A = this chain, B = another copy of it.
């Protein structure tokens, strides 16, 4: 999968007194896109956690180019890494309202086990991504 796309509608509670979406809320949308992307690859994050595989965010970065407003219909385009060769891997994101790029950025992730210790990305994850 070169790119994965999901969409969402901006909630009123995501706006702030500037009349636009608060910058912190975008990270919730990136997470939503990750979960849907995993599903599209055949992986269920809820099941993964119940089996002791956690995917926390170790870095998050976004550049905001144009504001998002209440009730906007937005597309999040997630680009997975071409290869995962190490413990950390990076997902990149672009956020659009129709043709307008609103924001772009990335999140970096690692795998933790049930004891919340760092582990290498598990084989099932690497294989699923390669097939997808």
Q: Which residues of A contact B (CB under 8 A)?
A: 11-13, 15-20, 22-25, 27-28, 31-32, 35, 44-46, 49, 54, 56-65, 67, 69-71, 116
Does the CB pair B25–A70 fall under 8 Å? no
A59 engages B64 (CB within 8 Å): yes
A61-B61, A71-B35 in contact; A13/B24 too (CB < 8 A)? yes
- In the complex, the answer to whether A71 meets B59 with C-beta atoms within 8 Å is no
Q: Across the interface, do B56 and A18 meet the contact criterion of CB distance under 8 Å?
A: yes
Between A and B, 26 residue pairs with Cβ closer than 8 Å are A11-B28, A11-B31, A12-B17, A12-B22, A13-B16, A13-B28, A15-B17, A16-B16, A17-B17, A17-B19, A18-B49, A20-B56, A24-B27, A24-B31, A24-B60, A35-B71, A46-B69, A56-B67, A57-B64, A58-B63, A59-B63, A59-B64, A60-B60, A60-B61, A60-B62, A60-B64
B71→A45 contact, CB < 8 A: yes
Query: Main SS of chain A's interface residues?
Result: mixed
Contact between A71 and B57, CB atoms less than 8 A apart: no
Q: How far is the CA of A32 from the CA of B8 in the complex (A)?
A: 12
Which of A24, A27, A31, A62 has the most chain B CB atoms inside 10 A of its CB? A24
